[in-house]
């Protein structure tokens, strides 16, 4: 099968190649998925580049990557099932998360797959899992967004942000998105009630306060973010920027340390991959409350270009590789 492979850390253009390799063998609890589309996200760029160095200590390989084929989210068609698999059969259209998604076939645990949303294309379904989990868990579990609350999504046009805006709206919030000028209309089109163009105006400048702030852009100071929160508001730090070692982790640590001593709640989190939440995302799409935003699709042979673009951190929604 054709697959994008990686044998060392470095820039996607330097270390990713398109190769012919054997199809993965499935274990008894796994499904062989004929991948039709694979989502990309900043996590792919981090694992491919090996930066920040902290990521290498998180089990991805110290000197070189452990996984030969990158890619963590996909949608496709079941080609074969392991002996213990009960939920799926050959021909089912599924989506989910797993290793080695940038390939024509991937071996994926039954527990990491769900039948595709009935109204979604392979590209849309592949764009859902990782960014969708992050947005859902940020809004529902960390910010605990309630009907009528004011929510600010910073980085509203990105992979996580486009889901966060739509999911916050589905919880009945009044949503303000923050983006650059070229993305103002996109952010409005996915349901944001207000948009702040950060090239013209900064948050907290207009005197507006929010019950929850979801920060995916990661480049504002804690004090600036706190000034835009209500006295009991919740800040959820989703992403950080800067530094080859820790990439903005210092700000997250400071937020967690300060939080117990103030009335505002400041926190961060690492999203969890769960089948229950994959079902929630599927239902949000089927109910029309969430529509994945696809910036661009790339052929598998152009996978390195897709991951390089993700690393620039100005995607308009998600970049998807199609097989």
Alpha-carbon gap, residue 162 to 317, rounded angstroms: 6
Applying CB under 6 A, among 39, 155, 191, 233 the residue interacting with ligand NAP is 155
- Write down the least CB distance from residue 298 to ligand NAP, Å: 15
Element (H, E) at 77: strand 73-81
254 vs 261: CA distance, rounded Å: 12
Residue written as tokens 């210092």?
Answer: 250
Question: Least distance in Å: CB of 310 to ligand NAP?
Answer: 6
Q: Is 41 in the site for ligand NAP (CB under 6 A)?
A: yes
Site membership for ligand NAP, residue 313 (CB under 6 A)? yes
131 binds ligand NAP (CB under 6 A): yes
Task: Report residue 112: phi and psi, to 5°.
Answer: -110, 15
Q: Could you say which of 183, 252, 291, 297 contacts ligand NAP (CB under 6 A)?
A: 183
Name the residue nearer to ligand NAP (CB basis): 50 or 161.
161
DSSP 32: E
The region, left, alpha or beta by phi > 0 then psi within -120 to 50, assigned to residue 243 is left
Q: Give the shortest CB-223-to-ligand NAP separation in angstroms.
A: 16
Residue 84: how many other CB atoms lie within 10 Å = 10
- For residue 79, the minimal CB distance to ligand NAP (Å) is 29
Q: Which two tokens stand for residue 59?
A: 């089990």
140 in contact with ligand NAP (CB under 6 A): no
109 touching ligand NAP, by CB under 6 A: no
Using CB under 6 A as the binding rule, whether residue 198 contacts ligand NAP is answered as yes
Whole-angstrom distance, CA of residue 295 vs CA of residue 313: 12
Footprint on this chain of ligand NAP (rule: CB under 6 A): 41-43, 131, 134, 154-155, 157-161, 178-180, 183, 198, 216-219, 238-240, 269-271, 313-315
């Amino acid at each position: 099968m054709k697959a994008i492979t990686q044998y060392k850390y470095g820039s996607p253009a330097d270390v990713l190649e398109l190769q012919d390799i054997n199809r993965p063998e499935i274990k008894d609890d796994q499904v062989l998925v004929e991948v039709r589309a694979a989502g990309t996200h900043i996590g792919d760029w981090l694992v491919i580049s090996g930066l920040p160095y902290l990521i290498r200590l998180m089990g991805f390989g110290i000197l070189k990557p452990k996984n030969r084929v990158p890619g963590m989210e996909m949608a496709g068609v079941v080609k074969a099932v392991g002996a213990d698999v009960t939920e799926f059969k050959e021909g089912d259209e599924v989506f989910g998360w797993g290793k080695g998604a940038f390939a024509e076939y991937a071996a994926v645990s039954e527990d990491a797959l769900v039948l595709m949303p009935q109204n979604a294309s392979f590209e849309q379904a592949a764009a859902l899992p990782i960014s969708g989990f992050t947005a859902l868990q940020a809004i529902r579990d960390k910010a605990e967004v309630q009907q009528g609350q004011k929510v600010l999504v910073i980085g509203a046009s990105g992979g996580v942000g486009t889901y966060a805006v739509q999911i916050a709206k589905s919880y009945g919030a009044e949503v303000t998105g923050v983006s650059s000028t070229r993305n103002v209309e996109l952010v409005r089109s996915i349901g944001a009630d207000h948009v702040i163009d950060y090239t013209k105006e900064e948050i907290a400048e207009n005197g507006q306060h929010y019950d929850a702030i979801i920060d995916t852009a990661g480049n504002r100071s804690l004090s600036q973010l706190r000034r835009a929160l209500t006295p009991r508001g919740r800040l959820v730090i989703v992403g950080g920027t800067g530094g080859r070692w820790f990439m903005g982790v210092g700000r997250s640590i400071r937020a967690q340390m300060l939080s117990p001593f103030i009335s505002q709640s400041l926190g961060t989190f690492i999203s969890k991959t769960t089948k229950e939440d994959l079902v929630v995302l599927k239902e949000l799409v089927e109910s029309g409350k969430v529509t994945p935003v696809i910036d661009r699709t790339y052929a598998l042979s152009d996978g390195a270009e897709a991951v390089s673009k993700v690393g620039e951190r100005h995607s308009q929604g998600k970049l998807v590789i199609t097989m």
